[in-house]
Amino acid sequence: MINELLGISAIYFLTLVLALPLGHYLARVFKGEKNLLDFLQPVENGIFRLSGIDARREMSWQQHLVALLTINLVWFLLAMLVLSTQGSLPLNPDQNPSMSPDLAFNTAISFLVNCNLQHYSGESGLSYLSQLVVITFLQFVSAATGIAAAVVVFNALQTRATDKLGNFYNYFLKSLTRLLLPGSLLVALLLAFNGTPMTLQGKQELVTLQGDSVAVSRGPVAAMVAIKELGTNGGGFYGANSAHPLENPNYLTNAVENIALVIIPMAMVFALGFYLNRRKLALMIFGVMTVGFVVLLAPTVYYELQGNPAISHLGVNQELGALEGKEMRFGAAASAYWSITNTVISCGSVNSMHDSFMPLSGLTQMLGMMTNAFYGGCGVGLLNFFAYLIIAVFIAGLMVGRTPELLGKKIEAREMKIAILVTLLHPLLILAGTALTAHLYASNPQEYAGWLANPGYHGFSEMLYEFTSASANNGSGFEGLGDNTPWWNISTGVVLLLSRFLPIIGPVAIAGLLARKKYVPESAGTLPADTATFGVMVMAVIVIIAALAFFPALALGPLAEHFSLY
């Protein structure tokens, strides 16, 4: 047990050690200062010339959003076309069929919005062409989209009063060329040299030790897995995701993949501090996020190492912890650690089956997605936290009788309304979707019998988890749920769209409104936003909103299951 705890501690601290210089590097990249990869500038300029884009033209926040939404629409149409016709297209050695319209709709949206909620089994549901030009491509551009949107907010928080917030295409392309592509290449090489396949050949026939002949799926796995982690995407090349021995062969690759999925969200927090020259603010944000992460991680690791009491009553020794649904090569602690990093990061990759975790572990996994503010995804994690920050500034200002200000910019009614709408949208989508689905199931359980393998408390948790994962742009799931049906594909697809773009539009709009305001120098009457006291205030806002919104639903699912088990 000690070795397992030391292992996950080492993974976290190595991630932190790498994230700090990466944050400094990203700040230099987006500020246009000299950096290690400046030799790529001619390539970037060539791409801009071919595209007819003037990367030096600064854009307003409205122009940023128009560019972001327009290019995402083009990608969605391309993805739908390929997924709906993949059975007739090349690079399909295993002859996988085309997707049904509702499944193609869900898959295209899911990867477009950086969620990667998979209602299909990876190796049998997609051709190699779809894996490359839809899945892998969207994993790159969706991550870059989130990072570019975060940089727009960075610009708005500077002291100048302006409506010009940089160029979306410049930030987007640099996110790809200076970060995601080189980072993915490094991760892919580490995976390939440890046994992860990287080929365009079809299934390979093998004979097992028992003498059985099996066909093992392979393909361009290493490249896809690298960006799924680094871009906080999460979709698995294989149905078993990173629990598959070819997608995640050993403890080293497990550590590499876990570091990859956390490092950019961490680094973006530090990049904010370097970009604005407000390191204390970045430390406050990082501190709040880290406290939230640890509060969710600690009980998960504890309960998974303790084992299942129902099995203990049978006289079975569980000194290695609750291993149902977990890989022996990782163990209970590393599986628990991954389950929390991927749910707070909004990266739905898994190295174990969340459906088999202890009830309170399932609760902490859902809380990580419900709060949706502890580290978060590439760029969008900071955007979600930004909404909580605006609310905390406003409430704290009212409490102490000061005009609410954030970094010298006054927070007024418009900014507060947008922040509240963005914050309340998340529980609305989760709870309304779960309630409607539970009503459909209860009204005709025979017709929808294929939905739930575990009716009762756990079945409710499965439905709640699915909508939570969709709304948080996460992508993991409780796999006891039969989700490849028209209802699940369409309902979660709608949730995916709303929960991705409205939480981007809202913070960018707030940023645009703040950027136009005159900077007011800090004085003795200013409420500082970079102190530990204010960090406690932000945490209180997050906890209160999450607790009030989600506790009743959690009481019906994982909490009820926990007390019935013990």
pLDDT tens by residue, 67-99: 999 999 999 999 999 999 999 999 999 899 999
pLDDT for res 448:
78
Question: How high is the pLDDT of residue 380?
Answer: 86
The pLDDT of residue 284: 95
Q: What residue type is 98 in one-letter code? A: S
pLDDT at 186 over 90: yes
Distances (CA, A) of 164 to 161, 194, 205, 313: 9, 47, 58, 65
Across the range 146-152, mean pLDDT stands at: 94
| Chain mean position to CA 40 | 28
Task: Give the position of tokens 């640890």.
Answer: 294
Q: Please tell me the predicted confidence (pLDDT) of residue 96.
A: 92
* Single-letter amino acid, residue 206: L
Which tops the pLDDT comparison, 291 or 315? 291
Round to whole Å and give the CA distance between 488 and 498.
16
Q: Give the CA distances from residue 395 to residues 230, 281, 419, 426, in Å, rounded to whole numbers and listed in that order.
A: 36, 18, 12, 20
Looking at residue 348, its pLDDT comes to 87
Q: What pLDDT is attached to residue 540?
A: 94
Structural domains of the chain, count: 1
Residue identified by tokens 């309340």 is 424
Q: Does residue 46 surpass a pLDDT of 90? A: yes
Please give the pLDDT value at position 121: 85
Longest dimension (CA), the chain: 79
- CA–CA separation, 409 and 271 (whole Å): 20
Cβ atoms of residues 328 and 303 within 8 Å: no
308-312, 397-401, 433-437, 446-450: which is most confident: 433-437
Residue 453 CB contacts under 8 Å (≥ 6 apart), including other chains? 459, 480, 481, 482
| Kind and range of the H or E run holding 410 | strand 409-410
Coarse DSSP helix, strand, coil percentages of the chain, rounded to the nearest 5 percent: 65, 5, 30
Mean per-residue pLDDT for 461-478? 93
The tokens describing 79, both together, are 């993805």
Q: At what angle do helices 61-85 and 168-175 cross, to 10 degrees?
A: 50
CA dist 415 and 509 (Å) reads 8
Q: If we measure between CA atoms, which residue out of 511, 465, 470, 514 comes closest to residue 490? A: 470
Residue 131 is which amino acid? Q
Residue 446 pLDDT > 80, yes or no? no
Mean pLDDT of the chain: 91
Average pLDDT for 35-50: 94
Rounded to an integer, the average pLDDT of 354-378 is: 93
pLDDT of residue 195: 93
CA proximity to 136, closest of 193, 180, 201, 72: 180
Class of residue 393 by CB neighbours under 10 A (exposed 0-12, middle 13-18, buried 19+):
buried
- pLDDT (average), residues 37-56: 93
Give the HSE-up count for residue 78: Cα atoms under 13 Å, Cβ half-sphere.
Answer: 16
**In the predicted structure, residue 525 carries a pLDDT above the cut 70:** no
Length of the chain: 566
Residue-wise pLDDT for 275-314, tens only, equals: 999 999 999 999 999 999 999 999 999 999 998 888 888 8
Q: What are phi and psi of 452, to 5 degrees?
A: -120, 120
Q: How many Å is the Cα radius of gyration of the chain? A: 23
State which residues form the domain around 228: 2-565
% of the chain at pLDDT higher than 90 = 71
Q: How far apart are the first and last CA of the chain?
A: 23
Sign of CA dihedral 78, 81, 84, 88: negative
Q: Work out the angle between the directed axes of helices 413-443 and 380-400 (0-180°, nearest 10).
A: 120
Q: Is residue 100 scored above 80 in pLDDT?
A: yes
**What was the pLDDT predicted at 320?**
86
Task: Return phi, psi of residue 239, to 5°.
Answer: -60, -35
Q: Is-contact 96 87, C-beta < 8 A?
A: yes
Residue carrying the six token digits 């490092």 = 263
* Alpha-carbon span 13 to 459, nearest angstrom: 37
Of 138 and 565, which is predicted with more confidence? Answer: 138
pLDDT number for residue 563: 92
The pLDDT, as a whole number, for residue 523 is 67
In SS3 terms, 446-474 reads as CCCCCCECCCCHHHHHHHHHHHHHHHCCC
Average pLDDT over residues 251-273: 96
Q: Kindly provide the b/e burial profile for residues 146-160, where b requires at least 16 CB atoms within 10 angstroms of the residue's own CB.
A: bbbbbbbbbbbbbee
For residue 214, list its beta bridge partners: 206
pLDDT band at 456 (very low <50, low <70, confident <90, very high): confident
Helix (H) or strand (E) holding 129: helix 128-130
3-state secondary structure 39-107: HHHHHHHHHHHHHCCCCCCCCCHHHHHHHHHHHHHHHHHHHHHHHHHHHHCCCCCCCCCCCCHHHHHHH
Cα–Cα dist 398/401, whole Å? 5
- 317 DSSP 8-state letter: -
Q: What does the block give as tokens for 92?
A: 């399909």
Ordered DSSP codes for 142-190:
HHHHHHHHHHHHHHHTSSS--S----HHHHHHHHIIIIIHHHHHHHHHH
The set of residues, in sequence order, having a beta carbon less than 8 Å from that of 421 and lying 6+ positions away, is 506
CA distance 461 to 554: 8
